[in-house]
């Protein structure tokens, strides 16, 4: 049985070699599935990562949430910190986001958010 590290490495390699058309189709399908979830439809606040490399493209989901009047929070990775910060964002336009740690998109202007998790 492969170790967790070996399995993760294998899956990341497979994901990185997906044809862009397949990656785009799967990303779109995932975002549409989330939008159909009753818990998403009822939510007033959404917490969503912004993608890097070959991760699921969540930008359409973030855009949908904002245009539906939901408030959006994104995680912020800070170099050298084991935990994540969180920030409200009001848009996903290029002028509002910039690459942060590891090239992950984050708001140009941080608006710290404290999260209370409840479903």
Show pLDDT as tens, one digit a residue, over the chain (119 residues).
889 999 999 988 888 888 889 889 999 999 999 999 999 999 999 999 999 888 899 999 999 999 999 999 999 988 888 888 899 999 988 888 999 888 998 888 878 776 555 54
Whether 113 maps to a domain, the answer reads no
In the chain, the number of structural domains is: 1
What CATH number is given to the structural domain containing 10?
A: 3.40.50.10420
Q: How far apart are CA 45 and CA 66, in angstroms?
A: 10
* pLDDT for residue 118: 54
Domain that holds residue 48: 4-107
**For residue 51, which of 21, 15, 4, 9 has the smallest C-alpha distance?**
15
* pLDDT for residue 36: 98
Q: How far apart are CA 59 and CA 52, in angstroms?
A: 11
Q: Are 114 and 88 in contact (CB under 8 A)?
A: no
Q: What is the pTM of this model?
A: 0.81
Whether 59 maps to a domain, the answer reads yes
Whether 117 maps to a domain, the answer reads no
* pLDDT for residue 81: 84
């Amino acid at each position: 049985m492969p170790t967790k590290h070996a399995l993760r490495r294998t899956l990341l390699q497979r994901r990185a070699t997906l044809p862009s058309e397949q990656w785009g189709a799967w990303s779109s399908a995932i975002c549409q599935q989330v939008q159909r979830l009753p818990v998403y439809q009822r939510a007033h606040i959404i917490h969503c990562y912004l993608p890097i490399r070959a991760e699921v493209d969540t930008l359409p989901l973030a855009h949908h949430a904002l245009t539906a009047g939901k408030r959006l929070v994104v995680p912020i990775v800070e170099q050298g910190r084991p935990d994540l910060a969180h920030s409200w964002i009001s848009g996903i336009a290029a002028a509002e986001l910039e690459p942060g740690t590891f090239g992950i998109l984050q708001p140009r202007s941080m608006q710290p958010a404290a999260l209370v998790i409840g479903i």
